[in-house]
Amino acid sequence: MSAFNTGLLNLDEDSPVGQRILGLTQGQPQQQARVPSAEAMLRPLYEQRATKSVPTDPTGDDYRMGIGGRILGTLANFLSGVNGGGATVYTGPGATNNRYAQAERRRVGELTGLNDQIADTEKLSDARRNDYVLATQQEDRAQKQKMVDPDSVYYDEQNGKWKGRPTEDRSRRLRRRTGISR
């Protein structure tokens, strides 16, 4: 049994506040508060990002520069040198072809897209969490306002504070001291 339910059992059922609290809690199913989580949506995105973060292997057979590319690259380097300089093409060991550059650009683009998607999902998760917190706070305030006994407490609009109403005995004592009669 929870501490709240134990506290409810110990309330004086004859008091108006006790009756009011019991009236609010009896017959209603206990709601389990659960903060919405975006972990289920983010986990696959994080896994995809981890696989896309690994750079493309330039030593693969698909990306090695062939003999034709090396000959044309050497010719392009010679002609650019004769012409007065310019961009050179690497044709030495480990040289890659255009397919490698395309694959790497595609990988980087997909990684950027995943990072954007993760950032959007995290922002959405934060917004949902904030909405949940605000909703629970509003619900708590509404329940607290329902639990206030209107016979013993009132809200003073001028001061913006809750004040207690005097009981009948206290009112009599105040009237005797001040000399005010009904």
Q: Is 155 helix (H, G, I), strand (E, B) or coil?
A: strand
Partner residues linked to 58 by β-bridges: none
C-alpha–C-alpha distance, residues 5 and 18, integer Å: 13
Is the CB of residue 52 less than 8 Å from the CB of residue 110? yes
| Choice between 154 and 74, residue whose per-residue pLDDT is larger | 74
Mean pLDDT of 86-103: 87
Of 3, 1, 25, 2, nearest to 13 by C-alpha is 25
Residue 128 has pLDDT above 80, yes or no: yes
Domain locations along the chain: 1-32, 150-182
Identity at 149, one-letter amino acid code = D
Per-residue pLDDT tens over the stretch 1-51: 454 444 444 444 444 555 555 555 555 554 554 544 678 888 889 999 999
Note the pLDDT of residue 12.
Answer: 45
Helix axes 39-52, 98-147, angle to 10 degrees: 160
